[in-house]
Structure 1
């Protein structure tokens, strides 16, 4: 049972709690410290929650994530200098997954940029969702690189509930509580709509490899939606299932698979790098060099034999020598086998390459495989 004022192992500060905390506790969630927050790691069980998302619908309290609202005449152009993706592609109601880069093209964070369009006075409105662990770092980074005299920056992180509803029946189930037609919203699009009669932000995005929505609301409306979804049969899910789901879909976890020492080209995120479509941005020269010369290492998918699970930081070997490191690993419920992500030299990164992983002093066979490990059926 959690103490009244739980503390993170790395801090004396009490852990923060989302507006849905007590509702999760009432559903007998097992809570854990995560990025300064007290969050549910599981409810009924990781495997059951994982399969509920793959087969029906599950929901996650992701209110701990960073939420920034930007408004100004040239918000998109200013953000263009901070990311490798061409944000000029975006039309109102569209979103772009991308990364903030440092001068060495290392990933400061990954985030989603939601372009909301322009106001009557010609100001652009942009919403950013960033990782919980990096919210303050990202806020500092953005404020130090944006013209805050021309852009209004609002941190909505502590004032909004964010719920992810994911799975094959997620859209149909959520529709009962939303005025607008959700089927008209395409993948990686969004709108400001009406949820339970109140204003809400709805985005057809997620971190599970399944279809679904992420919904941002005022706290009381968010609490009401959470209760309504429980009553509708949506399965509450914790961080455990969120991790196994995203890993099957080969989605990177910041701080493990990507960080300030990895570039998007090394991490298999080359599709975010639009060198031919935009001008200068932080880290561009490094990416141009890597594009020309090739990268020395790549993030690959690994499939283990038997039931041996490769975990974060386990060494990857080839012919007896350590050549890389595992960044994430689990026994994948849908795939039915142990899978992992890890960095290895480029010449050992092709699918079918035989490698080994050291687990508790012994080495076990692993094979490089194509990513993702699991792909959901196309949305009808």
Structure 2
């Protein structure tokens, strides 16, 4: 699919190392992944996330359609622009994708509609699945490839962004609650992110993206690549589709149970029956965080050994620049306690087992 041309030239001019990511040419880093990570934790960094797929859902049945399509319930969104995180599941309860959905317009009015942001790597199967499920609803699905998206993240992200936008855009930034997005002057500004820091994800017309990126750079917002994005989201305990969950994994085994709206009990959603059966049977596996406090690096697919219980596997692992040690997400037997071992190069090293989530707002959050 390539990239948004004008902004792509800026990435190259800023020294980006570019890699293929889901068919897009994406910056991996701009010289130092570690420095970019620290910029986001301590100040403000920006990511070109124009590869994300934006889909608008409109029509008389838009609400009913999404209440069936998604495991979370859009009726939880009581305020214009409010968003929620959810899984889009298969009939057997596997995760087709994880996404964000915004309720647009006045909730409950004839003018309400919804905006979804899904992953680029799953774009084709997502759109196909969504279209199949839409067949019995009066609903229109419109992909928005003309929109670029820039994420600005970090403790100074809102203030620095506000300094380079118009007065009305600044007022919208000031008005947003966390996990809310609103349109203004042809842009869509959302207070969401994937780093464990406060910040914004802003959709702009493609032909305005390069100028906005440059304005942010001039305001000392550091350009950041996929490498820092991955270590930041891992520190925050956030899943990466294809690593921490996929169609073979239940959201109940991927620390996504909180994204399932079980009430009202009469709401039928895709995968509900399978998930209720899993709950009744009892979970076999769960997702946890691992902390390695001695030398070594935790990596995906390393074996996790829980003495007397069984074995699991690391799904995402890396060195944490903020904590200065190695961390991971892992799927392990449900009976796992607060300790385990990881097999690294033939050696078994002890790890601390915690609830997923290592760093929030720049601070360690586990005991």
- State whether TM-score is above 0.5: yes
**Greater shift in the superposed pair: 123-132 or 286-295:** 286-295
**Greater shift in the superposed pair: 354-363 or 168-177:** 354-363
Query: Does the aligned pair in 1 maintain the 2:65–2:137 contact within 8 Å?
Result: no
Query: Does the aligned pair in 1 maintain the 2:303–2:342 contact within 8 Å?
Result: yes
* Residue 354 (structure 2) pairs with residue 369 (structure 1): yes
Query: What secondary structure sits across from 1:132 in the alignment?
Result: coil
| Residue of structure 1 in register with 2:252 after alignment | 265
Pick aligned residue for 1:359 from 332, 344, 354: 344
| Residue of structure 2 in register with 1:313 after alignment | 301
The Cα shift of 1:305 comes to 2.8
* Residue 90 (structure 2) pairs with residue 107 (structure 1): no
| Residue of structure 2 in register with 1:7 after alignment | none
Pick aligned residue for 1:135 from 102, 107, 123: 123
CA distance in 2, matches of 1:271, 1:318: 25
The Cα shift of 1:374 comes to 0.8
Query: What secondary structure sits across from 1:163 in the alignment?
Result: strand
Query: What secondary structure sits across from 1:28 in the alignment?
Result: coil
| Residue of structure 1 in register with 2:18 after alignment | 31
Query: Does the aligned pair in 1 maintain the 2:81–2:102 contact within 8 Å?
Result: yes
The Cα shift of 1:184 comes to 1.4
* Residue 135 (structure 2) pairs with residue 125 (structure 1): no
Pick aligned residue for 1:227 from 210, 214, 228: 214
* Residue 278 (structure 2) pairs with residue 287 (structure 1): no
| Residue of structure 1 in register with 2:187 after alignment | 200
The alpha-carbon distance between structure 1 residues 170 and 76, as it changes in their structure 2 partners (threshold 3 A), is same
| Residue of structure 2 in register with 1:116 after alignment | 104
Query: Does the aligned pair in 1 maintain the 2:309–2:335 contact within 8 Å?
Result: no
Which of the pair has the greater relative contact order for Cα pairs under 8 Å at 6+ separation?
2
Query: What root-mean-square deviation, in Å, do the aligned CA atoms of Structure 1 and Structure 2 show?
Result: 2.0
* Residue 3 (structure 2) pairs with residue 17 (structure 1): yes
| Residue of structure 1 in register with 2:41 after alignment | 54
The alpha-carbon distance between structure 1 residues 93 and 364, as it changes in their structure 2 partners (threshold 3 A), is same
The Cα shift of 1:56 comes to 0.5
CA distance in 1, matches of 2:108, 2:283: 46
| Residue of structure 1 in register with 2:143 after alignment | 155
**Greater shift in the superposed pair: 276-285 or 167-176:** 276-285
| Residue of structure 2 in register with 1:85 after alignment | 72
The Cα shift of 1:22 comes to 1.0
Cα deviation 1:8-28 (Å, max 9, x = unaligned) = xxxxxxx61234211101100
Which consecutive residues of structure 1, in runs of 5 or more, have no partner in the other structure? 1-14
Query: Does the aligned pair in 1 maintain the 2:4–2:206 contact within 8 Å?
Result: no
The Cα shift of 1:144 comes to 0.6
Cα deviation 1:125-166 (Å, max 9, x = unaligned) = 211100110011111110010137722211113x21100000
| Residue of structure 1 in register with 2:132 after alignment | 144
Which consecutive residues of structure 2, in runs of 5 or more, have no partner in the other structure? none
**Greater shift in the superposed pair: 173-182 or 204-213:** 173-182
| TM-score normalized with structure 1 length | 0.89
